[in-house]
């Protein structure tokens, strides 16, 4: 089975659970194929956690879930050493972060101290506990959900944490037809538990290798650099994109191209992933009068195509 057939089967299965949200589901698949971490932000009850469960089941990965709360401590994530009398030594007990997929549910309900415990894990795929560095399983993905910042009991994610997420998406309310299916159909949680894993670890690694091998021509790289330069011009945003953000944008565009059945990146691929990939890293200028996503789209319209 070639890459396009595998990816189509992934999307088809996910769309049976998350109805009416094909674009958002495709973004999630592109994010994980690109080897990035995913942030799903929206009001409670629209399917954020269900989508994260469905992704881990469909990708066939070892799964761990943590409900973030105000009293969650960093050691609750990374693990702790406990003295065992029989061994007369301290024995490390791994925390839930030692999984291939970590669902950080309502991540912004934990304190910044606990949120920052994920920084090393997300960037280096390892954790340092009590002076020892321990590698995390491969592959390692964080799928985090968060509620809007104006809700009670939430802490805004620091910029350094947001920068570790390849994409931030919003699910939104379903349309009338999709909501009718939700009201009249089976419980989504029961459907998730019955999902079959469609990839092995080797198959996922191969798909990620194919994403990295997608070709980027010089004119396309010029376009990406023009977009990055536009974010730094001071016209659209207070601060521009970092080189790491530019690399992340290109990785997401490569995954989008592979999903579309091409072995090269087109400007359409860059534009398709741009708001989800860079808006959470940017703050619009004071007189913009619109949010970060709308500002990114306005900037794209102003930057000429190659």
Tokens in use for 250? Answer: 């290109």
Is a pLDDT exceeding 80 seen at residue 257? yes
Burial per residue of 151-185, b for 16 or more beta-carbon CB atoms within 10 angstroms, e otherwise: eeebbebeeebebbbbbbbebeebeeeeeeeeeee
> What CA–CA distance (Å, rounded) separates 165 from 36?
7
Tokens in use for 198? Answer: 């469609």
Q: Which residues touch 107 (CB under 8 Å, ≥6 apart)? A: 39, 68, 115, 144, 145, 146, 157
In degrees and rounded to multiples of 5, residue 95 shows phi and psi of -90, 180
Q: Kindly state the average pLDDT of the residues 187-192.
A: 80
**Least confident stretch, 73-77, 110-114, 142-146, 210-214:** 110-114
> What CA–CA distance (Å, rounded) separates 104 from 117?
12
**In angstroms, what CA-CA distances link 109 with 19, 76, 174, 185, 236?**
27, 15, 25, 31, 30
CA 161 from centroid of its chain's CA atoms:
12
Q: Angle at the Cα of 39 (from 110 to 102), degrees rounded to 5?
A: 70
> What CA–CA distance (Å, rounded) separates 46 from 169?
13
Burial per residue of 92-103, b for 16 or more beta-carbon CB atoms within 10 angstroms, e otherwise: eeebbbbbbbbb
- Tens of pLDDT, residue by residue over 32-78, are 999 999 999 888 878 888 888 898 889 888 889 999 888 888 889 98
Q: Is 145 helix (H, G, I), strand (E, B) or coil?
A: strand
User: CB count, 10 Å around CB of 298?
Assistant: 13
Q: Strand 37-41 relative to strand 141-146: parallel, antiparallel, unpaired?
A: parallel
> What CA–CA distance (Å, rounded) separates 200 from 58?
10
**Least confident stretch, 64-68, 95-99, 157-161, 290-294:** 157-161
Model-level pTM greater than 0.85? Answer: yes
Is a pLDDT exceeding 80 seen at residue 174? yes
**Least confident stretch, 25-29, 81-85, 122-126, 233-237:** 81-85
Q: Prior bond to 177 cis, omega within 30?
A: no
* Helices first, then strands: H and E counts in the chain: 14, 9
| pLDDT computed for residue 153 by the predictor | 66
Is a pLDDT exceeding 80 seen at residue 81? yes
> What CA–CA distance (Å, rounded) separates 19 from 102?
23
Percent above pLDDT 90 for the chain: 46
Is a pLDDT exceeding 80 seen at residue 154? no
- Tens of pLDDT, residue by residue over 200-251, are 888 899 999 999 999 999 999 999 999 999 999 999 999 999 999 999 999 9
Which residue from 192, 198, 202 is spatially nearest to 60, judged by alpha carbons? 198
| pLDDT computed for residue 281 by the predictor | 93
User: CB count, 10 Å around CB of 51?
Assistant: 26
CA 162 from centroid of its chain's CA atoms:
10
| pLDDT computed for residue 184 by the predictor | 86
DSSP-H helix ranges across the chain: 3-17, 22-33, 48-59, 74-78, 112-115, 119-124, 159-162, 176-184, 188-193, 201-213, 218-231, 243-259, 267-278, 292-302
Which residue from 30, 49, 33 is spatially nearest to 41, judged by alpha carbons? 49
């Amino acid at each position: 089975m070639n890459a396009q057939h595998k990816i189509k089967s992934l999307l088809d299965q996910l769309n049976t659970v998350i109805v009416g949200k094909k674009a958002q589901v495709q973004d999630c698949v592109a994010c994980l194929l690109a080897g990035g971490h995913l942030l799903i932000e929206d009001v409670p009850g629209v399917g954020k956690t269900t989508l994260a469960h469905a992704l881990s089941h469909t990708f066939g990965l070892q799964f761990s879930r943590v409900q973030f709360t105000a009293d969650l401590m960093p050691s609750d994530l990374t693990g702790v050493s406990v003295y065992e009398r029989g061994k007369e030594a301290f024995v490390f007990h791994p925390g839930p972060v030692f999984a291939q997929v970590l669902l950080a549910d309502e991540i912004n309900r934990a304190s910044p101290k606990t949120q920052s415990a994920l920084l090393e894990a997300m960037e280096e795929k390892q954790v340092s506990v009590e002076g020892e560095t321990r590698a995390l399983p491969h592959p390692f993905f964080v799928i985090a959900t968060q509620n809007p910042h104006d809700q009670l009991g939430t802490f805004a994610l620091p910029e350094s944490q947001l920068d570790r997420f390849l994409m931030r998406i919003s699910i939104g309310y379903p349309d009338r037809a999709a909501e009718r299916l939700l009201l009249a159909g089976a419980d989504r949680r029961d459907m998730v538990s019955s999902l079959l894993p469609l990839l092995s670890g080797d198959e996922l690694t191969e798909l990620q290798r194919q994403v990295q091998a997608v070709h980027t021509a010089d004119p396309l790289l010029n376009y990406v650099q023009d977009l990055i330069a536009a974010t730094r011009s001071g016209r659209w945003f207070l601060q521009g994109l970092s080189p790491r953000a530019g690399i992340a944008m290109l990785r997401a565009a490569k995954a989008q191209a592979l999903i579309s059945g091409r072995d090269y990146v087109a400007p359409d691929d860059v534009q398709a992933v741009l708001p989800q990939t860079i808006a959470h890293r940017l703050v619009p200028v004071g007189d913009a009068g619109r949010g970060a996503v709308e500002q990114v789209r306005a900037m794209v319209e102003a930057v000429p195509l190659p």
